[in-house]
Amino acid sequence: MSEKAATLGEKAIGAVQNNVTQALGLIYGLGMLTWTAFNQMNSNYWSYFLTEICGLEPTVMGTVKAVTGVGEWFFVIIAAIIIERVWLKHGQYRSWLLIAPPATFVCLLMTFVDPVFLDMGAKTAWMIFFQIVGGFFSSFFMIAATSIVPVISRTEADRTLLSQRKAQGNMLVKVLFAAVSLPAILAINGLVYRVPAGENAQNAGPAGFTVLALVFGIIMIVMFVVMYKRIDGMDPTQKITEERAAARRRGEKVPPLEAGEKVNLFEMIKNLPALIGLFAEIIRFIAQMTIQSMAMYVFTYAFGDVAMAAVMLTAANVTGLVATFVSEPIARKVGIRATYLAGIGISCVSMVACFLVGATGEMAFIVCICAAYFGMNFMNGTMMGMQSNAIAYGEWRDGKTAKAFIMSTFQWCPKIANAVAGALTGFGLAAIGFVSGMEASAELAQGMINIICLIPAVAFAIAFVAFFFGYRLNSKKMGQIAADLAEREAAKKAAAQE
């Protein structure tokens, strides 16, 4: 390699090492947490809302969640293709942060409205339609926001910082959500329907759920506008698209953009770390969604104290928030792979313990769930870094960098998990003989404990084995990849200047 190329290589490596500041990481985390807040309504309360407020049978609820999960998964692919091929005025990625959140808000708000003027068949169709369309629009801004990460980062340290700030922001808002959401629902329903909070006010009607979804949705829109403004200039396609838009306004003929690298599902399958990472994240979301969707049932029917569901979720999310801070220095020390594996192991052991002792009392159950959340947020804290490492690996191996497609596959995780967890919990409740409003019994309590514990425990055990043998991108390997990519980039710049 020439001296000129070597000098450029050193400069390139230095630039990427200092590309992501703490302030930028904080802004990114604050922007992403607002979607988490709005989406928590779906994760925590939608199953309960469908059966207890809308009156759907548990099997119908499970079918609704399975159908919507599959539908959303399909439309994630469509969204990724559109983002890759349609570059809007303010950049390939950045533009969607402004356009998609309002449409998402309107559709998903409708899933927390009880259309009493419809029969059960039409009501079921209503929920499926708005959930799938809302999920479609959310795919645009989530793919765009996550695709920014590999664009602005090149080292494992950069990816760890952005990944941890996103996770910390998400866990912080989950703590606040868990603390205020159920009390707010009970208070609103108490005012609207004049039912004391201690007398199953959560079942009195949809008002509390609808108002809370409205508030969190508005906050989400405002914060994505702020994020859109803050990342001005970060999207590398922004200058191109804005110049093309200006040329059109001047009446000039603008040629079509050249098609980028075509990376399809086959290429994704060839990228084993990306495939294994995708599988592990699906497992994490299945476990998390099972716990969240079953919590209201367990505390209502097994423990007879629905208010403790808010206590459990608050405690679990505080524990998860602590885990994101604990895992950050660990990930910097031992690497993303080892930290993620530790998270899977902790989560698996915790859910096995919950199965063994969870039914003995509320506090034992809560402690075990908190321990599982600690492990899951070791995974959550390194998730985006793990994904971005897999993208860097694919670029290093094949020279293909279609970030939107690859990052979009990780948006499948909550969609697929929503379908699987919804079906398992819905049909699981039916299998143990649950009927809305039924009297509590020891058999019903143990059945619900089995559902909330065994599904995550088995899933985590499978994920640990798969990730240990299939995801081999340790810190040493990623250091080599970063150096090689920087050297290639420097060589290209040197060749262009000669």
The pLDDT, as a whole number, for residue 100 is 94
Burial class of residue 433 (count of CB atoms within 10 Å of its CB; 0-12, 13-18, 19+): exposed
d(CA 470, CA 231): 35
The pLDDT, as a whole number, for residue 24 is 62
This prediction has a pTM of 0.68
At 434, list the tokens.
């649950």
Which band of pLDDT confidence, cut at 50, 70 and 90, is reported for residue 114?
very high
Higher pLDDT pick, 8 / 150: 150
The pLDDT, as a whole number, for residue 159 is 63
- Tens-place pLDDT, residues 250-307: 888 877 766 544 445 556 667 888 889 989 999 998 998 899 888 888 888 888 888 8
d(CA 352, CA 341): 17
Which band of pLDDT confidence, cut at 50, 70 and 90, is reported for residue 155?
low
- Tens-place pLDDT, residues 40-98: 888 888 988 998 889 898 889 888 988 888 888 788 878 878 887 788 888 888 889 89
d(CA 327, CA 206): 39
Range 126-145 average pLDDT: 91
The pLDDT, as a whole number, for residue 425 is 87
- Tens-place pLDDT, residues 475-485: 888 888 888 88
The pLDDT, as a whole number, for residue 267 is 61
Which band of pLDDT confidence, cut at 50, 70 and 90, is reported for residue 401?
low
d(CA 393, CA 400): 10
